[in-house]
Amino acid sequence: MAYAAELDRYRQAAPQLYELLRDKIVSMQYLPGASLSRVQMSAEFRVSQTPVREALLRLAEDRLVDVFPQAATKVSLIDVSHAEETHFLRRAIELEIVRDLALHPDTALLGRLRTLLRRQAELRDSQNYGEFTETDQQFHCLMYEATGKLALWKLVRSRSGHIDRLRNLHLPAGDKIARIVGDHSQILEAMERGDAEAAQQHLRTHLSGTLESVSRIRADHPQYFAAQ
């Protein structure tokens, strides 16, 4: 497996490696079950094995890699139970966030969300899944930030690797991207008119889509899933 990428030599290597490897795992560039060579990564990135080990330990805490002492490190298989737990946590937090934003509308925030939504609409038919996913994450992160809950966004993100991989497997399916854009539009419109109940209902629908399709995703890619 090739890891080639440039690191910023003026910043600590371990956090950069963590973000780079996490992105590749979540985006399914590194597939579940794939082996990760600490020696090879050290050579590719021209760093010692210490920052590589630190990055892998953080990924292990996120349950995105399985580290076997004195043996291999492998990308973890997708754990549906973990994905369901993360979904429960995220839904509970975001239901309160959209309620707060609907009851106390912020014109500047709504404008920024509207700009992101327009960009998502532009990407809808591009099959640029990476950029679309980034704008999707930005849409939600902005809402956490606006309500002073950015620390909770970081918590959710640290747990979201399994459900994000499910979502990335689901994105190419049918009208999934169009549904995401439509859901975001309905959430935003409800917040703009101050309708907290509607904003919460649209959010429930939005966050449930991938898990509702998990049986089909698993049937299409059984090799990527942990036994339940």
Look at residue 138 and give its three-state secondary structure.
helix
Under DSSP, the state recorded for 65 is: E
Domain boundaries, the chain: 13-75, 80-224
Above pLDDT 90, what percent of the chain?
73
13-75: CATH topology: Arc Repressor Mutant, subunit A (1.10.10)
User: What is the enclosing helix (H) or strand (E) of 154?
Assistant: helix 150-159
Amino acid at site 75: V
Structure tokens that stand for 137 in this block? 């994450």
Task: Give residue 95's pLDDT.
Answer: 98
The full DSSP string for 83-118 is HHHHHHHHHHHHHHHHHHHHHS--HHHHHHHHHHHH
CB 8 within 8 A of CB 16: yes
Model pLDDT, residue 93: 98
Residue 8 to residue 31: CA distance in whole angstroms: 26
Distances (CA, A) of 4 to 49, 59, 215: 15, 19, 35
Position 57 scores a pLDDT of 94
Quote the tokens at residue 206.
């939005």
Task: Decide whether 13-75 matches 80-224 in CATH topology.
Answer: no
- Read off the DSSP letter of residue 224: G
Q: Are 106 and 146 in contact (CB under 8 A)?
A: yes
pLDDT in tens, 66-95: 988 777 899 999 999 999 999 999 999 999
Q: How confident is the model at residue 163 (pLDDT cuts 50, 70, 90)?
A: very high
Tokens of residue 153, six digits:
């966004």
- Write out pLDDT tens, residues 92-144: 999 999 999 999 999 999 999 999 999 999 988 777 888 999 999 999 999 99
- Per-residue confidence (pLDDT) for residue 3, from 0 to 100: 53
80-224: CATH topology is: Four Helix Bundle (Hemerythrin (Met), subunit A) (1.20.120)
